[in-house]
Amino acid sequence: MVVNAEGIPIRTTLDNSTTVHYAGLLHQLTMKARSTVRDIDPQNDLTFLRIRSKKHEIMVAPDKEYLLIVIQNPSE
Amino acid sequence: MHCPAQPSAQLTALHSSMHCPALHCTAQCLACPVLRLYCVPAGCWIRGEGSMCDSRSVRLTESVFFNQKSCQTGEVAMAEVAVQSRSSRDAAVQTDQSAVPDVQQGACVDDSGVLAFLRRVEEVVIKELNKNVTSRAFDGFDVNWTDQNRTVLCLHTLSYPEAQDQHLQVTGVSWNATGSVVACSYGRLNDGDWSTEKSYVCTWNLDRRRLDPQRPDLVVDAPSSVMCLAFHPSQPSLIAAGLFSGETVVWDTSKPEDPLMWRTGMTDDTHTDPVYQVHWLPDAKHGNHVQLLSASTDGKILVWREERDGRLMVAEGFALVAQQIPRSAQLRKLVWGEAAVGVTSLSFSHFDPHVFVVGVEGGFSLKCSTAADTPAPCRTGGSVPLRAPAELAFSPHSGPVYSVSCSPFHRNLFLSCGTDGQVHLSSMLQTQPLISLQLSTKYLFCVRWSPVRPLVFAVASGEGDVHLFDFEKSSQKPAVSIKQAVDECPVYCLEFNTKQTQLLAAGDAAGTVKVWQLSSDFTEQRPREMNHLEQLASELTD
């Protein structure tokens, strides 16, 4: 799904309630991850975020205005 | 802008040369008159002087940052007026649960901007996706967040001595909506007679510190044997029960003096045979509302509506008649006219609210739908026309089916068990079962899927055992067999606790309810369980 800078989903392939849930939570997490990276080294910036869980893997590609969130099932 | 910790305090701008004293933060500071300093837009509170930002507040020296002002409005003109209404009208307003906000609501979408963004990130994301598909980095890597518990142990043994003195058996157990209260119903399952013996429904709150296993928190008297029990899915104090006399009653456990809330009474509409299953059904029209559904061996499945004077009236109903059971080419052996269609168990699909599976005295399971239209021939007069819900008949057991359970993880799978000691795992797409397990030489009374692990289910047997099956470990024999009763006293009912997933309650013929704590094997989903389940479900024979 594609989320804008305020955490509002713009395009999605999942159902509404899941999308809104994921968008809100992952937007906050991405901002936190970005501030962590910049805190450690102010010249650095976040390029990609991957979260691996028992059931699937969530990938976030951040940008100035949008976020692309992809959820993938592991291959095994 | 308001101070986030003291919402009534207004932030004022400091002198323009004042910047956040924390390292790396170049924001302009604002003063909160109560807490002295707040920094925007980085949103950091400042502690001390020159230390790292963190989220705690601090008081800096008043002389440097604090600047207090006050103001007074000018003279305010007032006038007094009185108003009297001459006519009034009553109106009522009800809020419904609001729909989930639409995805594109409020977002002004700049399509070309989105397109440019997607073009930029496409390559990176596709590269990562491909890497994941071929990656072996996490093979065999498992993380344990909680302490692993290796054993199954009996946490509580609950009983009601008065009921045990009358040699009553536990016919149903149910956990309430919050998962802290377990209720059990006493009655007799092996009594064929029409009896007017009183029986009880007892509840215990397991979170209470001084839990007395011999004394229930609440005992409700029932006019005849209670055959089944179900707690309301969202209101933690309502219990519905089906009685031997064919009545269905709803009690409110938060009113110990007069718990009876609604009852069906004995009208033309009520069941003429014992009610073996009650179920709370989410209402299709009003999303939050639930209706009560009861099924009995007279072949009727009725949906009840609450009326104001404490009575339950039939809202709609279904009847299973032998001639209307759909025939299947493979089931030629049955003689349809004589097959009994008393309903002994019922389970709704978790994926499609209209589909339910019914287990019948004749031994077969039926797939039914609440959206069915064909009217059923009514033998006795009733106020509501009954419909025939059956759509598909599955291959039969060699005896009555005592329990069916639809899988909460797969839309087509369900389990059924009966007096032939077998458990059938079937798919709704075909009549032959996928797997048949011969578990016991005696009857099997109850089968339930685990609410957390897609491949686990529990079976209550007539030999006094509760068998826990795990398809991941073995599809032939149980993973764990819990001996509930010392002598061969059958276990009649069991329920998993959906909120505290390590608890399992089982009630037996000796009148005791045992609450078992399961090992962590049974409470955490494994990484590839859903795939295994899908595989099982797709092994359809042609």
> Which CATH number is B217's domain given?
2.130.10.10
Q: Is residue B137 part of a domain?
A: no
Tokens of B20: 């956040």
From the number of C-beta atoms within 10 Å of its C-beta (0-12, 13-18, 19+), residue B212 rates as exposed
B63 shares a domain with B212: no
Is A61 within 8 Å of B102 when comparing Cβ atoms? no
pLDDT digits (tens, 9 = 90+) for B466-509: 888 888 887 778 888 888 777 778 888 889 988 888 888 988 88
- Indicate the pLDDT class of residue B380, thresholds 50, 70 and 90: low
Instruction: Report d(CA B46, CA B27) in Å as an integer.
Output: 12
- Please count the other Cβ atoms lying within 10 Å of the Cβ belonging to residue B219: 16
pTM of the model: 0.69
> Is A59 near chain B, with CB under 8 Å?
yes
B205 shares a domain with B310: yes
Closest approach of B470 to chain A, Cα-based (Å): 19
**pLDDT for B338:** 46
**pLDDT for A30:** 93
The partner residue sitting opposite B106, judged by closest CB among A8, A16, A52, is A8
B223 shares a domain with B324: yes
- Window from B84-88, B95-99, B122-126, B144-148 with minimum mean pLDDT: B95-99
For an interface test with A, the pick among B125, B452, B525, B532 (most A C-beta atoms closer than 10 Å) comes out as B125
Which whole number is the average pLDDT over B260-274? 79
On the question of pLDDT at B274 being above 90, the answer is no
Which whole number is the average pLDDT over B303-318? 79
B313 shares a domain with B218: yes
Q: Is residue B104 part of a domain?
A: no
Closest CA to B480 of B154, B143, B140: B154
Percent of chain B with pLDDT over 70: 77
Closest CA to B275 of B346, B169, B221: B346
More confident residue, B36 or B265: B265
Provide long-range contacts, Cβ within 8 A and 24+ apart, for A31-35: A34/A62
Reduced to 3 states (helix: H, G, I; strand: E, B; else coil), residue B239 is strand
Instruction: Report d(CA B163, CA B511) in Å as an integer.
Output: 7
The partner residue sitting opposite B24, judged by closest CB among A8, A39, A50, is A39
For an interface test with B, the pick among A57, A66, A73 (most B C-beta atoms closer than 10 Å) comes out as A66
B32 shares a domain with B168: no
> Is A45 near chain B, with CB under 8 Å?
no
**Contact call for residues A67 and A27 (beta carbons, < 8 A):** yes
Q: Share the mean pLDDT of chain B.
A: 77
Q: Is residue B115 part of a domain?
A: no
From the number of C-beta atoms within 10 Å of its C-beta (0-12, 13-18, 19+), residue B324 rates as middle
More confident residue, B168 or A1: A1
Which whole number is the average pLDDT over B514-534? 80
Which whole number is the average pLDDT over B18-23? 56
Closest approach of B133 to chain A, Cα-based (Å): 5
- Indicate the pLDDT class of residue B60, thresholds 50, 70 and 90: very low
- Please count the other Cβ atoms lying within 10 Å of the Cβ belonging to residue B182: 25
DSSP for B182-236, written as a single string: EEEEEE-SS--S-----EEEEEEETT-SS--TTS-SEEEEESS-EEEEEE-SS-T
The partner residue sitting opposite A16, judged by closest CB among B102, B125, B132, is B102
B381 shares a domain with B509: yes
pLDDT digit string (tens) for chain A, length 76 residues? 999 888 888 889 988 889 999 999 999 999 999 999 999 999 999 999 999 887 788 999 998 888 999 998 876 5
Which whole number is the average pLDDT over B12-24? 56
Tokens 């899941």 found at: A18
On the question of pLDDT at B150 being above 50, the answer is yes
B295 shares a domain with B168: yes
> Is A21 near chain B, with CB under 8 Å?
no
**pLDDT for B464:** 84
**pLDDT for B288:** 62
Tokens 């009520």 found at: B270
CA dihedral B323, B325, B331, B333 (to 10 degrees): -30
On the question of pLDDT at B463 being above 90, the answer is no
B167 shares a domain with B61: no
- Window from A22-26, B5-9, B369-373, B536-540 with minimum mean pLDDT: B5-9
pLDDT digits (tens, 9 = 90+) for B185-209: 888 776 656 566 778 888 888 888 7
**pLDDT for A31:** 92
On the question of pLDDT at B63 being above 50, the answer is no
Enter the ipTM: 0.81
Domain containing residue B179 = 153-541
Which whole number is the average pLDDT over B72-83? 87
Highest mean pLDDT among B28-37, B139-148, B222-231, B282-291: B222-231
Is A50 within 8 Å of B128 when comparing Cβ atoms? yes
Chosen domain end from B67, B86, B112: B67
B44 shares a domain with B170: no
- Indicate the pLDDT class of residue B39, thresholds 50, 70 and 90: low
- Indicate the pLDDT class of residue B145, thresholds 50, 70 and 90: confident
Highest mean pLDDT among B69-83, B92-106, B124-138: B69-83
Chosen domain end from B67, B82, B114: B67
**pLDDT for B57:** 41
Which whole number is the average pLDDT over B306-333? 70
Q: First-to-last CA distance in chain B?
A: 69
CB pairs under 8 A between A and B: 73
CA dihedral B389, B392, B394, B396 (to 10 degrees): 50
Chosen domain end from B41, B67, B93: B67
From the number of C-beta atoms within 10 Å of its C-beta (0-12, 13-18, 19+), residue B250 rates as buried
On the question of pLDDT at B227 being above 50, the answer is yes
B224 shares a domain with B333: yes
Tokens of B541: 């024979």
Closest approach of A49 to chain B, Cα-based (Å): 10
**pLDDT for A23:** 92
At A11, which amino acid appears?
Answer: R
B180 shares a domain with B55: no
Percent of chain B with pLDDT over 90: 0
Is B103 within 8 Å of A19 when comparing Cβ atoms? yes
On the question of pLDDT at B177 being above 90, the answer is no
Q: Is residue B118 part of a domain?
A: no
The partner residue sitting opposite B125, judged by closest CB among A52, A55, A70, is A70
- Please count the other Cβ atoms lying within 10 Å of the Cβ belonging to residue B157: 12
Is B113 within 8 Å of A65 when comparing Cβ atoms? yes
Domain count, chain B: 2
Q: Is residue B204 part of a domain?
A: yes
**pLDDT for B56:** 43
Q: Is residue B533 part of a domain?
A: yes
**pLDDT for B222:** 84
Biggest CA-to-CA distance, chain A: 39
B458 shares a domain with B352: yes
The residue count of chain A comes to 76
Tokens of B174: 């149910």
Tokens of A68: 């692309």
Q: Is residue B186 part of a domain?
A: yes
On the question of pLDDT at B230 being above 80, the answer is yes
* Whether the bond into B41 is cis, omega within 30 of 0: yes
**Contact call for residues A64 and A43 (beta carbons, < 8 A):** no
Q: Is residue B77 part of a domain?
A: no
**pLDDT for B61:** 41
**pLDDT for A25:** 93
> Is A41 near chain B, with CB under 8 Å?
no
**Contact call for residues B71 and B64 (beta carbons, < 8 A):** no
